[in-house]
Structures are given as C-alpha cells and as structure tokens.
C-alpha cells in the first residue's frame, strides 16, 4: 500500500539532496557576490522562520528580533575574535570563566552561546511582559531593541561603541548558513506539530479558551518567545561571521522590520512562508540596490517593502503561502 509517512520522508530526503546539490552548483558556478547573497538569504531564513514561531504560531507580536540578533552577533563575535588581534582592536581578553585570555572559541559553540544569551534575555523580559494580554509585547520588545542598541553604543570597553567590531573571522559559508536554516525549520516544524505547538496555536486563536483547556499561557508564550530569540541569536552570530563586521546601527528597527515583513509576506503561521518571504525580499533588495544607488534615492527599498506589506495586508493578509481558511477568525 501507499504509505504517506514513508513517502513524506522520502520526499524530504529528495528535497534535501536537491537543495544541497543546487547550493553546490551555485557555489561552483556563480560569482562570489551572488554566493554572498545566497548565503545571506540562508541567514535571513533562520531569522524569519524563528520569528514565525512567536508571531505566526503563538500570535504574539514581537518587534525585538533585531535586538536578539544583536545579542547573538556580539556574543558570538567576541568569543571567536582572534587572540592576536584583540589588543590592536582594543578588545578586552576573555575572562577566565570563558576560557581565559589565550582562548579563541570555535565557531559552532560560539554561535550557540549567542543563541543562548539571546534566549536568556528573552526570558528575563518575557516574564513581566507576557503575563499580560494585548500587544504589550510589541512595544516592550521594540523598547528592548532600543535598549540593546544603546548598550552596544555605550559599552565601549566591550563592544567598541558605534565603530563596531570588524575583522571578525568569516566562518559562515553557504553550508553553515543553510545547515542552520534547515535545523531551524526542522525544529520549528517539530514544535508546531507537537502538543507544544498545538497549545501555542490554541493561544493564538483564543487565549481564554486555551486557558480553560488547562494550557499554562505564560509558560507557552515564554517558550515560544525564548525559542524564537534563541534562533534569532543564532542568525545574529551567522550574520556577524558572514559580513565580518558589525555595528550597533546594523541591528536597528529597519532590520526588525525586514524580518517581520518577510514573515508577513510569506505567510504567518506557515512552515514555508517565512523562507519564501526571506528569499523574495532579500533578492528584491539586491536587485533594487543598484537602482537606489544610481538614482540616489535612499529609502526606496524600504518604501517598496512598506508598500508591499500594506498591499499584502489589504488583499491577502494570510500571505503568499497561507491559506485563507486556516486563519479565518473575526
């Protein structure tokens, strides 16, 4: 007989093979600049898929994703920063607890630490804010992002202030980026198809009804927020080791907005939507960039993003990959 489950696994394996073969071909044939953009898309997929857990599946509205990315980026790059260059760049050596002055962290644990730091922060902020109903989180997480940017600018001894950190080793390649994109998608997929995910969706649809069913609202909201933040931290770490330089202003409201718009345009509460959104919008940005620069009209890309967002909200609020029925609610 026809086994759907087995079939699905097979399909997934085939899709994986095709994806990685495609990436390999892309890496071998395309120019460095295009590969750079493709890798960046992978990083954005990590960020948007994880934001989708918070915003799409749990129905919270976090605007702090750029802040968590900043935490992840700074944590990871301070850990992996080459020992030799530290004095030249006026960065203090690592404290003993993190390995001491002569220690340089390998890439993977450093990125994981970045994610961990972001999720701990999410827990600290989430506990007071997520107890409440309504969209307090939107403003509080936005505030958190502003606080993080202010800290990154002012803690000059650690972050070098507004100059930012450069000469970060460029560990992130196309494989790291897409491996993380896959891991993120898989983890989020497993979560939303488990009892955890069903509880989160129940909270999205009706908080009171979910509470009556015995769902601990705070617990699931916090989990969703912290897991989202964890992968945002990972995305930040990948981003830092991809571009090789980070500045506080890179993690501003514009970045948060970009990721939100990827999720919304792709389809909130769908597995493939955010990835599709990340792909389309990042590609669009790099197609429009020469236009913006040659015509000297800065802000054009954001303007187009915002128009797209408004149009999507007006005509297809469930996003490109979303189905209308799944979000039917008054």
Partner 1 sequence: MLSWEYILQQLFNGVVVGAMYALLALGMTVIYGILRLIHFAHGALITVGAFCSYLCFMKLGVPFIATIFIVIAFGAFTGIILDVVAYKKVVGGPEVTLLITSLGFYIFIENFMKLVVSPQPYPFHPPEFLTKIYSNGITFRAIDIFTIVVSIAIMVAFQMFIKKTKMGKAMIATAENAEAARMVGINTNRIISIAFIVASAIAAITGFMWGAKYGQISYDMGFIAGVNAFVAIVIGGVGSIPGAMVGGFVLGMLSMFSVAFLPPGFAAFRDGIVFFILIIILIVKPSGIFGQKAAI
- 324 lines the binding site for partner 1 (CB under 8 A): no
Which CB, 7 or 162, lies closer to partner 1? 162
- 307 lines the binding site for partner 1 (CB under 8 A): yes
- The first and second tokens of residue 316, run together, are 């297809």
Closest CA to 117 of 70, 180, 156: 70
Closest CA to 52 of 225, 306, 205: 225
Q: How many residues bind partner 1 (CB under 8 A)?
A: 47
Closest CA to 243 of 52, 76, 22, 20: 76
Among 151, 158, 187, 217, binds partner 1 (CB under 8 A): 151
Binding mask 51-70 for partner 1 (x = CB under 8 A): ----x---x-x-x-------
Among 85, 120, 146, 191, binds partner 1 (CB under 8 A): 146
Among 70, 71, 118, 144, binds partner 1 (CB under 8 A): 144
CA atoms of 121 and 186, how far apart (whole Å): 24
Which CB, 11 or 313, lies closer to partner 1? 313
* Contact set for partner 1, span 220-249 (CB under 8 A): none
Which CB, 69 or 168, lies closer to partner 1? 69
Q: How far is the CB of 169 from partner 1 (least distance, A)?
A: 30
- 218 lines the binding site for partner 1 (CB under 8 A): no
Among 175, 189, 196, 253, binds partner 1 (CB under 8 A): 253
Among 94, 111, 238, 260, binds partner 1 (CB under 8 A): 260
Binding piece for partner 1, criterion CB under 8 A, among 89-97, 241-249, 254-262, 273-281: 254-262
Q: How far is the CB of 135 from partner 1 (least distance, A)?
A: 5
Write a three-state SS string for the chain.
Answer: CCCHHHHHHHHHHHHHHHHHHHHHHHHHHCCHHHHHHHHHHHHHHHHHHHHHHHHHHCCCCCCCHHHHHHHHHHHHHHHHCCHHHHCCCCCCCCCHHHCCCCCCCCHHHHHHHHHHHHHHHHHHHHHHHHCCCCCHHHHHHHHHHHHHHHHHHHCHHHHCHHHCECCCCCCCCHHHHHHHHHHHHHHHHHHHCCHHHHHHHHHHHCHHHHHHCCCCHHHHHHHHHHHHHHHHHHHHHHHHHHHCCECHHHHCHHHHHHHHHHHHHHCCCCCCHHHHHHHHHHHHHHHHHHHHHHHCCCCHHHHHHHHHHHHHHHHCCCCCCCCCHHHCCC
Which CB, 91 or 138, lies closer to partner 1? 138
- 320 lines the binding site for partner 1 (CB under 8 A): no
- 139 lines the binding site for partner 1 (CB under 8 A): yes
Binding mask 99-138 for partner 1 (x = CB under 8 A): --------------------------x--xx-xxxxxx-x
User: Footprint of partner 1 on this chain (CB under 8 A)?
Assistant: 55, 59, 61, 63, 125, 128-129, 131-136, 138-140, 142-144, 146-147, 150-151, 153-154, 253, 257, 260-261, 264, 297-300, 302-303, 305-307, 309-310, 313-314, 317, 327, 329-330
């Amino acid at each position: 007989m026809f086994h759907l489950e087995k079939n699905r696994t097979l399909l997934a394996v085939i899709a994986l093979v095709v994806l990685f073969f495609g990436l390999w071909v892309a890496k071998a044939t395309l120019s460095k600049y295009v590969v750079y953009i493709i890798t960046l898309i992978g990083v954005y997929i990590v960020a948007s898929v994880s934001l989708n857990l918070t915003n799409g599946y749990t129905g919270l509205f976090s605007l702090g994703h750029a802040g968590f990315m900043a935490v992840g980026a700074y944590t990871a790059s301070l850990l992996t920063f080459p020992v030799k260059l530290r004095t030249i760049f006026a960065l203090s050596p690592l404290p003993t607890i993190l390995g001491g002055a002569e220690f340089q962290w390998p890439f993977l644990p450093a990125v994981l630490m970045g994610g961990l730091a972001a999720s701990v922060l999410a827990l600290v902020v989430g506990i007071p804010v997520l107890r409440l109903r309504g969209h307090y989180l939107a403003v509080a997480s936005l505030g958190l992002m502003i606080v993080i940017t202010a800290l990154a600018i002012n803690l000059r001894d650690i972050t070098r202030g507004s100059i930012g950190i450069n000469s970060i080793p460029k560990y992130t390649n196309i494989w790291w980026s897409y491996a993380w994109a896959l891991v993120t998608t898989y983890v989020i997929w497993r979560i939303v198809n488990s009892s955890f995910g069903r509880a989160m969706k129940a909270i999205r649809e009706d908080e009171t009804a979910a509470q009556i069913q015995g769902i601990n609202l705070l617990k699931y909201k916090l989990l969703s927020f912290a897991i989202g933040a964890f992968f945002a931290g990972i995305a930040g770490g990948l981003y830092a080791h991809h571009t090789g330089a980070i500045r506080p202003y890179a993690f501003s409201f514009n970045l948060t907005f970009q990721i939100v718009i990827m999720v919304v345009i792709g389809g909130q509460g769908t597995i493939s939507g955010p990835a599709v959104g990340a792909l389309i919008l990042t590609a669009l940005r790099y197609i429009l960039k020469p236009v913006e620069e040659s015509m000297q009209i800065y802000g054009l890309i954001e303007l187009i993003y915002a128009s797209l967002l408004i149009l999507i909200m007006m005509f297809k609020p469930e996003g490109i990959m979303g189905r209308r029925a799944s979000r039917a609610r008054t």
